């Protein structure tokens, strides 16, 4: 297995259980470093993200968050784990837009179950047709503020607020101890209660003695033989800048959506002048993700003066989830597809309400303490329609610090996304008012493309080779035909397990 970043030790290379005030600048990057890293970087994780100055990209505005280390973005992801619904695989059949996936929910459901039993997903069986239940461990309960928000949400027709579905083991599971509620999941769990490939998948693979990890390998080309079959990859050592090649009977790509597509586009040859697996011309096209907007914050006055449990001590991905309610049973006249909300309420490690309160000195401190448990907020995540004119290509004029050609982006929000964001903002305000929550801030959005870190498409699977990217093994979200409004990680894992099983089966038959 080749990895572009360094190998990491779960026990030694992460800042477990450190408080923000133990870091310089209270966990904020100084100005001189801010331009070097993505918005998700801070003093305790910056070493796992790329230096933007060494890894440029061009084109339209795009926020490209790239983690390079053994474990990838599972080191710092938000842990939200949602299955796609049957209609998500059959979008064209449902509303006439785009293409249907070549597989349906019934084909991937067994792999969802196997992944869930392997990694552990906490949540509640809510029996929602658009949000299929997983094989759940016990859920993380809602906070008092989230229960109050739920009253308002569920007073409106067709809306639900459910407990977060998250990749946390809430009781001992497959040799891993239960979550101890430190709230530092995104610093990589030291006891492996939250899922990361570094903590959960790689150790048993290494224990077989059949896995070799080659870190610091910046792969730039898939090599092929005279029959145009993949034979291996060529890479540059990130530290020594030495050019090397490795060979293999089977080549599997899982560099993340856009890096996988960049690699295929850069794998040009006389037989593949437009990149490998691009005979259809579709490679790089039909980019999709989640548009973020409708962010609303408020204060629940009935919780003032209560002794709240610090919400930062809860696992990431728990809290409140408001599933899609547009275009479920009735079609919206404003836009196709839909959105969900992620959010939470409670007493954060820093009392964010403080800057809104008047006063000074002891009386001010008392008021901050009284209002500490009252804050609540939600943000919408909406499905971005895959369009041929939302695409990436290789920029022939720019390379990264290692001489590898970079991506050029052509990604913008369409009218469907903008209409969706307007609706999610109005819907969030409506739900807060229904819950009698004072609205203190509204940020309609949308945030820039890429901000969700849920990139998908650009090498979509399909039944028609003229409209899809075929004859390659990609194990990331590049193969998605559309994004849905649901977080992609659980589906990536299920598809990877399905593809891996197929590879093993075909290898045993002598077909690979």
Q: Could you write out the DSSP letters of every residue in 264-300?
A: HHH--BTTBTT-TT-TTS-TT-S-B-EEEEEEEEEE-
Distances (CA, A) of 247 to 223, 225, 237, 327, 348: 8, 11, 16, 48, 50
Give the C-alpha separation, 223 to 15, whole Å: 39
> What 8-state DSSP symbol labels residue 347?
B
Helix intervals (H) in 103-166: 105-119, 144-153
Residue 484 contacts residue 97 (beta carbons within 8 Å): no
* Rounded-to-5 percentages of helix, strand, coil across the chain: 30, 20, 50
Residue 12: is it exposed, middle or buried by C-beta count within 10 angstroms (0-12/13-18/19+)? exposed
Number of other residues whose CB lies within 10 A of the CB of residue 59: 15
Residue 166 CA, distance from chain mean position: 12
Give the C-alpha separation, 277 to 233, whole Å: 15
Give the C-alpha separation, 405 to 402, whole Å: 9
β-strands 162-163, 136-137 pairing: unpaired
Q: Is the overall model pTM greater than 0.75, yes or no?
A: yes
139, HSE (Cβ side, Cα atoms, 13 Å): 19
For residue 480, give every residue at least 6 positions away whose Cβ sits within 8 Å of its Cβ, in sequence order, or none.
288, 456, 457, 460, 488, 491
Strand, coil or helix: 304? coil
Give the C-alpha separation, 375 to 144, whole Å: 11
Residue 460 contacts residue 62 (beta carbons within 8 Å): no
Pick the closest to residue 104 from 120, 83, 119, 79 (CA basis).
Answer: 83
Pick the closest to residue 337 from 345, 355, 354, 325 (CA basis).
Answer: 325
36 φ/ψ angles, rounded to the nearest 5 degrees:
-85, -15
- pLDDT in tens for each of the 512 residues of the chain? 999 999 999 888 888 888 888 888 878 898 888 889 999 998 889 999 999 999 999 999 999 999 999 999 999 999 999 999 999 999 999 999 999 999 999 999 999 999 999 999 999 999 999 999 999 999 999 999 999 999 999 999 999 999 999 999 999 999 999 999 988 888 889 999 999 999 999 999 999 999 999 999 999 999 999 988 999 999 999 999 999 999 999 999 999 999 999 999 999 998 999 999 999 999 999 999 999 999 999 999 999 998 766 767 788 888 999 999 999 999 999 999 999 999 999 887 777 788 888 999 999 999 988 988 899 999 999 999 999 999 999 999 999 999 999 999 999 999 999 999 999 999 999 999 999 999 999 999 999 999 999 999 999 999 999 999 998 899 999 999 999 999 999 999 999 999 999 999 999 999 98
Give the C-alpha separation, 354 to 374, whole Å: 11
Give the C-alpha separation, 376 to 358, whole Å: 20
């Amino acid at each position: 297995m080749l990895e572009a970043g360094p190998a990491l030790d779960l026990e030694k290379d992460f800042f477990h259980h450190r408080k923000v005030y133990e870091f310089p600048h209270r966990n904020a990057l100084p100005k001189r470093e801010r331009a070097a890293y993505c918005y998700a970087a801070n003093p305790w994780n910056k070493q796992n993200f790329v230096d933007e100055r060494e890894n440029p990209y061009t084109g339209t505005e795009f926020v490209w968050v790239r983690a390079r280390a053994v474990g990838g973005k599972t080191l710092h992801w938000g842990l939200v784990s949602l299955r796609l619904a049957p209609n998500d695989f059959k979008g064209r059949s449902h509303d006439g837009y785009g293409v249907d996936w070549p597989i349906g929910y019934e084909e991937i459901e067994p792999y969802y179950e196997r992944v869930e039993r392997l990694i552990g997903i906490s949540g509640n069986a809510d029996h929602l047709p658009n949000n299929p239940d997983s094989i759940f461990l016990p859920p993380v309960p809602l906070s008092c503020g989230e229960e109050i928000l739920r009253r308002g949400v569920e007073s409106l027709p067709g809306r639900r607020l459910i407990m977060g579905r998250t990749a946390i083991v809430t009781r001992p599971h497959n040799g891993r101890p239960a979550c101890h509620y430190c709230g530092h999941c995104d610093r990589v769990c030291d006891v492996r209660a939250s899922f990361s490939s570094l903590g959960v998948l790689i150790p048993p693979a290494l224990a077989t003695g059949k896995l070799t990890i080659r870190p610091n390998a910046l792969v730039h080309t898939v090599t092929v033989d005279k029959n145009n079959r993949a034979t291996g990859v060529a890479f540059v050592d990130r530290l020594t800048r030495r050019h090397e090649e490795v060979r293999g009977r089977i080549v599997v790509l899982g560099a993340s959506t856009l890096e996988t597509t960049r690699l295929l586009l850069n794998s040009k040859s006389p037989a593949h002048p437009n990149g490998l697996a691009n005979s259809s011309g579709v490679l790089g096209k039909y980019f999709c993700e989640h548009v973020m907007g409708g962010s609303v914050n408020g204060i629940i006055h009935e919780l003032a003066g209560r002794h709240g449990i610090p919400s930062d001590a809860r696992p990431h991905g728990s809290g409140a989830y408001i599933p899609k309610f547009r275009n479920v049973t009735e079609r919206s006249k404003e836009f196709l597809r839909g959105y969900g909300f992620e959010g939470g309420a409670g007493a954060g490690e820093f009392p964010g309400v403080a800057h809104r309160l008047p006063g000074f000195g002891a009386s001010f401190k008392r008021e901050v303490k009284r209002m500490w448990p009252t804050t609540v907020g939600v943000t919408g995540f909406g499905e971005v329609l895959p369009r041929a004119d939302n695409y990436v290509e290789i920029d022939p004029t720019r390379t990264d610090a290692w001489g590898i050609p970079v991506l050029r982006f052509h990604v913008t929000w369409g009218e469907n996304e903008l209409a969706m964001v307007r609706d999610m903002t109005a819907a969030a305000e409506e739900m807060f008012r229904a819950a009698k929550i004072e609205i203190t801030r509204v940020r309609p959005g949308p945030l820039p493309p890429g901000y969700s870190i849920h990139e998908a498409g650009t090498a979509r699977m399909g039944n028609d080779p003229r409209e899809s990217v075929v004859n390659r093994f990609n194990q990331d979200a590049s193969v998605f035909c559309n994004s849905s409004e649901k977080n992609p990680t659980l589906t990536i894992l299920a598809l990877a397990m399905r593809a891996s099983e197929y590879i093993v089966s075909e290898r045993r038959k002598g077909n690979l």
